[in-house]
Amino acid sequence: MTIIDGKKTAAEIRAELKVRAGAFEEKYHRKVGLAVVLIGEDPASEVYVRNKVKACEDAGIRSFSYALPTQATQEEAEALILSLATNEEVDGILVQLPLPRHLNADAILAKIPAEKDVDGFSKENIGALALNGVATVACTPLGVIELLKRYQVPVSGKRAVVLGRSNIVGRPMALLLLNADATVTVCHSKTENLSEICKEADILVAAIGKPKFVTAEMVKEGAVVIDVGINRKEGKLCGDVDFEAVKDKASFITPVPGGVGPMTIAMLLNNTVQAAERRQ
């Protein structure tokens, strides 16, 4: 059994991106730029945003930070995005989710031009992904595919099961696996015989947000188990997979923390450098 080291892999990718961002700066006499927009005071979001800004600086990417108060209006939020959309120094725009409830998140995100949509949430990018075309892909599922690649896990022809159908993880994850020629099943809260379906998976991706939901009985001997969950249980961070019980059955498994999590930020930097290169 191999424990997939997301922290180490993410550090390698970030070092590669630093070289690419440096080459961009050399060639175009400006830094790659990422605008990070935080609206409101969600404590988890504040931590995520801080980490993203720090990661940019480490990689030689210029970050533009914007914090709007919780009471910000729809018009103020949209006006900010529109000004970033036309700012030539800004290659990528990230609006940290969730937004305060009175705001229409879809309408705000729709103001981000597809070429600056480093989260891959836009209709254009989701559509391009669904058509197996050139797309910017959501950072977390992209991080999962990159881990499979770097650990040389074969995907083509394999039976992949994705637990969860969220717009941010489950759906794009299923499309990426399909584009990589896996046979893909998506399970969700209404799925019947979920355990039996999981048990057929060569590659099982858990993204449902339920602590230790995946037990040893649900996993085939030799399966690759990817845990996207980040849950707090009794003050401790834990994934959607019962790691201790499942690890002896798996051929590869990601831990929480230190698995998929660190890859998300690395893929954000990747999408930002890529957006800059494509824009130039």
Nearer to ligand GUN (CB atom), residue 67 or residue 216:
67
Binding to ligand GUN, residues 108-167 (CB under 6 A): 119, 139-140
Among 63, 96, 125, 274, binds ligand GUN (CB under 6 A): 96
Between 22 and 209, name the residue whose CB sits nearer to ligand GUN: 209
Is residue 201 part of the contact set for ligand GUN (CB under 6 A)? no
Rounded to a whole number of angstroms, the minimum distance from the CB of residue 277 to ligand GUN is: 21
Rounded least distance, CB 103 to ligand GUN, Å: 14
Q: How many CB atoms lie within 10 A of CB 279?
A: 15
Which of 35, 59, 81, 95 is close enough to bind ligand GUN by CB under 6 A?
95
Residue 240 annotated among the catalytic residues of the structure: no
Q: How far is the CB of 208 from ligand GUN (least distance, A)?
A: 15
Active-site residue flag, 96: yes
d(CA 174, CA 176): 6
Smallest gap from Cβ 28 to ligand GUN, in A, equals 26
Query: Interface with ligand GUN includes 97 (CB under 6 A)?
Result: yes
* Beta strand spans in the chain (E): 2-3, 33-39, 62-68, 92-95, 159-163, 183-187, 203-206, 224-227, 231-233, 236-238, 252-253
Contact 246, 215 (CB under 8 A): yes
Q: What is the spatial distance between Cα 153 and Cα 147, in angstroms, rounded to a whole number?
A: 9
Does the active-site annotation cover 210?
no
Instruction: Using the rule CB under 6 A, give the single segment among 66-74, 90-98, 158-166, 251-259 that binds ligand GUN.
Output: 90-98
Given phi > 0 = left and psi -120 to 50 = alpha, else beta, which region is 133? beta
Distance between CA atoms of residues 9 and 150, nearest Å: 8
Q: How far is the CB of 96 from ligand GUN (least distance, A)?
A: 5
Question: What is the C-alpha radius of gyration for the chain, rounded to an integer number of angstroms?
Answer: 19
Q: Minimum distance between the CB of residue 244 and ligand GUN, rounded to whole angstroms?
A: 26
CB contact burial 3-27 (16+ within 10 A = b; e otherwise): ebbbeebbeebbeebbebbeebbee
Q: Which stretch binds ligand GUN (CB under 6 A): 71-79, 84-92, 93-101, 230-238?
A: 93-101
The residue (of 94 and 173) whose beta carbon lies closer to ligand GUN is: 94
Q: For 169, which DSSP code? A: T
| Annotated catalytic residue within 5, 119, 240, 242 | 119
Alpha carbons 243 and 137: distance in angstroms, whole number: 27
Q: What H or E segment, with its residue span, contains residue 179?
A: helix 170-179
Rounded alpha-carbon distances, angstroms, from residue 188 to 53, 160, 202, 224, 230: 33, 14, 18, 19, 17
For 105, the token pair is 């998140």
Q: Which is nearer to ligand GUN, 93 or 218 (CB)?
A: 93
Catalytic residue among 5, 31, 91, 96: 96
In the complex with ligand GUN, which residue's Cβ is closer, 94 or 174? 94
The residues annotated with a catalytic role in the active site are 52, 96, 119
Q: Which residues bind ligand GUN (CB under 6 A)?
A: 94-97, 119, 139-140, 168
